[in-house]
């Protein structure tokens, strides 16, 4: 998190933009908050998120009786993986992370194929975003800078792709075949109050 970011101002800005903003002291509290929100019979889609895994939320979802469209289940085929991603677009709830959140209450995302940003933008009835405090930035310029210099290179390394940023540590807007920086989205406001809930965790989480 940029030192100059005012956390309370960020939360107020999110609420002003119709995004429900909650705060958790740590990953354990965040996980419990998400589980309290979800009805026991909910259908749930997911977007890629290191944070969701770090706080134990993915394992907790798998352990309960939800209709979970889990594209990360080991052993499924590529076709089944894509089927589950598409099913997640029309689930009741969608759970994922966010790459950056500005003090003005805007959400910033970078996607490879677009299923995550599609679902956050429109489709599922409710969206729950989990966000480490390290994702807070002052403004849009810092958001894209954070994505280019932190999120993109670290995610490319995690995926094991051979892109220049894996070697340099900084996105260079490459033309690599397995480039993951393909779809950039900024959400300024949602027209459906409370459809998106962001839980800010007072820990450094994810990329």
What is the edge-to-edge ordering of all strands in the sheet holding 20-24? 20-24, 196-201, 126-132, 93-97, 43-46, 67-68
pLDDT per position as a tens digit, 110-136: 998 999 999 999 999 999 999 999 999
177 band by pLDDT with thresholds 50, 70 and 90: confident
Annotation: CATH topology of 7-137+186-201? Rossmann fold (3.40.50)
- Please answer whether residues 132 and 51 qualify as being in contact, where contact means their C-beta atoms are separated by less than 8 angstroms: yes
pTM equals 0.94
Helix, strand or coil for residue 101? Answer: strand
Instruction: Name the burial class of residue 100, with classes exposed (0-12), middle (13-18) and buried (19+) by CB atoms within 10 angstroms of its CB.
Output: buried
- Please answer whether residues 98 and 107 qualify as being in contact, where contact means their C-beta atoms are separated by less than 8 angstroms: yes
Is the pLDDT higher at 180 or at 20?
20
Domain boundaries, the chain: 7-137+186-201
- Please answer whether residues 11 and 131 qualify as being in contact, where contact means their C-beta atoms are separated by less than 8 angstroms: no
Lowest mean pLDDT of 12-16, 37-41, 155-159, 183-187, name the range. Answer: 155-159
């Amino acid at each position: 998190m940029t030192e100059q970011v005012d956390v309370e101002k960020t939360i107020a800005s999110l609420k002003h933009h119709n995004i429900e903003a909650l705060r958790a002291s740590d990953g354990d509290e965040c996980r419990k908050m998400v589980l309290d929100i979800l009805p026991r019979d909910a259908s749930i889609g997911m977007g890629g998120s290191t944070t969701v895994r770090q706080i134990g939320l993915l394992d907790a979802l798998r352990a309960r009786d939800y209709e979970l469209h889990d594209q990360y289940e080991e052993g499924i085929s590529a076709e089944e993986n894509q089927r589950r991603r598409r099913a997640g677009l029309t689930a009741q709830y969608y759970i994922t992370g966010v790459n950056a959140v500005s003090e003005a209450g805007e959400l910033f995302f970078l996607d490879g194929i677009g299923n995550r940003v599609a679902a956050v933008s429109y489709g599922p009835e409710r969206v729950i975003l989990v966000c480490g405090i390290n994702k807070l930035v002052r403004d849009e310029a810092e958001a894209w800078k954070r994505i280019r210099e932190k999120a993109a290179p670290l995610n490319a390394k995690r995926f094991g792709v051979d892109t220049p940023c894996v070697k340099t540590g900084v996105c260079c807007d490459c033309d690599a075949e397995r480039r993951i920086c393909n779809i950039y989205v900024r959400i300024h406001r949602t027209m459906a109050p409370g459809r998106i809930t962001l839980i800010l965790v007072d820990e450094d989480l994810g990329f």
